[in-house]
Chains A and B, each alone.
Chain A
Amino acid sequence: MSFPGVLLPLALLLYLASTLAFIGHLITIDRGPLRWAYGALAGACGLHAAALGGRAAMFGYGAFAPVQEELSIIGCISVLLYLILAVRVQLTVVGALVAPMGFVFTLSAYLFESGHTAVPNELASLWLPAHVVPAFLGYAIFAVSSCLSIVYLAQESQLKGKRKGGWFRKLPSLEILDNLSFRFVTWGFAALTIALITGSFLARELWGALWSWEPVQIYSVLTWLLYAILLHARTVGWRGRRAAQLTIACFVVLALSFIGVNLFFPGKHGGSLG
């Protein structure tokens, strides 16, 4: 197994360990497992990043053409975002969602390891990183924001239902969850907007037109519109439960169409590489 190839299974193990430690912490409410959870998660994220870096060094951009590799990158960035966030805010329960997410996203890359493709010369323009980096970043931000919203819904139903006890004690306040989720959606939207613009220029370079009715273009614009609606709803006073539900729904649509388009309509996007 090649050098970066060893890193990935190790990262997977650590993601799993972190997930179990987070769950252990939530069940026992003991602070002991928490240190392990964060330690393992940071370790997993580091190894994961190293594995991705190794892949990039060997294969160039083409390393990340297959959809499972893209998911893997998004997972890695999401975990990193969460770790940065967790330094400032106590968000243990969110970690219990982010850690398994990192695990699943990486697992797909590990199981369906499908080699790489050389990037065609015409793709190697500066527009490619300018498109890909904000796109991955945006997706990762949306992933974390939907985790925050899931925890919001859990906390909200606890408070409404007047059930109090166990790991629900560990939930952060509604206000902070709502604010953070909103802020994340704003940043994610900014990143997505940039990705859409640079993506269009990339498309013009490759296919000769800013817009060519590619499935990937259609779904990108649709998800962008969905998030635009969410942001608009937020600014006119939607908050709390409904905003959280919409945040999660937006991400589900984003994730399904992302995977669906890549798998079933390879078109000229990633598919032309893989």
Chain B
Amino acid sequence: MDREIVVVGVTHRSAPVEVRESLAFKGETLEQALHTLTAMESIDEAAIISTCNRVEVITTAKQGDSAIDCVTNFLAEREGSGDTHLLDHLAVYRGREAVRHLFRVASSLDSMVVGEPQILGQLKDFYGQAATAGSAGIVLHRFFHKAFAVAKRVRTETGIATRAVSVSSAAVELASKIFDRFDDKTAMLIGAGTMAELAARHLLGRGVRGLLVTNRTFDHAVELAREFHGTPVPMEDLPRYLELADVVIGSTAADSYILTVPLVRQVLRQRKYRPIFLIDMSVPRNFDPALNQLDNVYLYDIDDLSVVATENRQERGREADRAEEIIDAEVDAYLRWLAELDAVPTIVAIRDKFDAIRRAELERTLATLPGLNDESRAALDSMTSAIINKILHAPITHLKEQGRERESIYLVAARHLFDLDDSEGSGTP
């Protein structure tokens, strides 16, 4: 009657990328794998997570040991190069540790970049596939939903995901310290470069109203503008269009300053001193460092942004500690629920048994008392029900509480005392 959650697989901590690649599941293979797993006798429910950082099989089983063996063999067959090699890299979690592990994964504490937001969405997809395939049952349903809730709690109650850890996202984080909203802002991209384009993409994600793209070669500007649904601007018209831009990202190979103090001063006047955020992603720099001295101009170069990103990474480490505390508490809550689940069939069986006895005896008595009217019959019925309920109240309460400990002797004793396992409908899961 006890169930255990078992997680077997490889993660970016336990195995190199070649091993993870060789195990990865995709589309139909995944569905098939889920069916194969649930068809095994020792496995009740199953789900598979397969991302570039991890391939993990989550199962519930009555006997954890045999489930681990089954899944290990299953994975070894996939990898095809023999048990020994895979075993070195296998990470196994069971019971409490398994619950903790999935909660940590969902909360992005186990990610390569702690706090990255993608993992939760991926987890939801894989849970959805397990649900569709019918391999997730009551325990895993609850398990995943709980994991999603925990992830949300961690996200809202700690700063783990609020810090931008890449240079381009740090730029956008800074922009949101200057601007309250982006839907009335325009960004301008000067030149092209991976980080600059990423930053522009982030800004578009925040909903900037427009994106102006300019380049030494106008054709490139047109090309890039098409990709971003922006507006291409010829380089020689830059000073005229600069007035429109609230955020300017520079990333050109120019060896002299494109934005100079006199130019920006003039632009500021035209803008009625509305703030401008200048992001210089190029080396050598495109924007005169003295621009930062101007009122309502905020200039960050690539070094400044790296510092922000690094600090944020350290900050995330501290926040991760607080996240772990939340997870510990949630693991307890989930395990309590799981344990109560064990008590439920026993309690139902006891109630059923007592009620059956009551009905049988009641019918027998009523047969000997033909003179009773309906009212009196109903009264007898409710009286006997009340007696049963009152007698069972204390034992059931204790079972619910004691059942929280796995393999509670109370549960075993109760089943034994009332002969539940021999009778029909004992409800053993």
Contact = CB atoms under 8 A, between A and B. Distances in A.
A204 interface: no
A174 B292 contact: no
A261 to B, nearest CB: 34
B148 interface: no
Interface string A161-177: 01011000101111110
Contact of B292 (A29, A160, A175, A179): A160
B180 A162 contact: no
Contact of B177 (A31, A174, A237, A241): A174
Interface size for chain B: under 10, 10 to 19, 20 to 34, or 35 or more residues?
A: 20 to 34
B178 interface: yes
A238 B300 contact: no
B248 to A, nearest CB: 16
Interface string B271-297: 011110000000000000000100110
Interface in B162-192: 162, 174, 176-181
Nearest to B293: A160
B315 A159 contact: no
Interface in A219-274: 237-242
A160 B296 contact: no
A200 interface: no
Contacts of B272: 237, 239
Interface string B288-330: 0000100110101000100110010001000000100000000
Interface string A30-68: 110000000000000000000000000000000000000
Nearest to A236: B272
Contact of B176 (A173, A179, A237): A173
B330 to A, nearest CB: 17
B137 interface: no
A155 interface: yes
Nearest to A164: B308
Contact of B295 (A155, A165, A175, A242): A242
B193 interface: no
Nearest to A32: B157
Nearest to A172: B180
Given A29-B159, A164-B308, A238 B180 contact: no
A237 B270 CA distance: 10
Contacts of A165: 311, 315
Contact of B174 (A159, A240, A242): A159
A172 B180 CA distance: 8
Nearest to B174: A159
Contacts of B275: 174-175, 239-240
A238 B273 contact: yes
A175 B174 CA distance: 12
Contact of A240 (B157, B273, B292): B273
Interface of A: 29-31, 155, 159-160, 162, 164-165, 169, 171-176, 179, 237-242
Lowest 5 CB-CB distances: which A-B pairs, in order? A175-B180, A176-B180, A237-B272, A173-B180, A240-B296
27 contacts: A31-B157, A155-B177, A159-B174, A159-B298, A162-B300, A162-B304, A162-B307, A173-B176, A173-B177, A173-B178, A174-B178, A174-B179, A174-B275, A175-B178, A175-B179, A175-B180, A175-B275, A179-B180, A237-B273, A238-B273, A239-B273, A239-B274, A240-B273, A240-B275, A240-B295, A241-B295, A241-B296
Given A31-B157, A173-B178, 13 more contacts: A29-B159, A30-B322, A159-B174, A160-B298, A162-B308, A164-B308, A173-B179, A173-B180, A175-B178, A175-B180, A239-B274, A240-B296, A241-B295
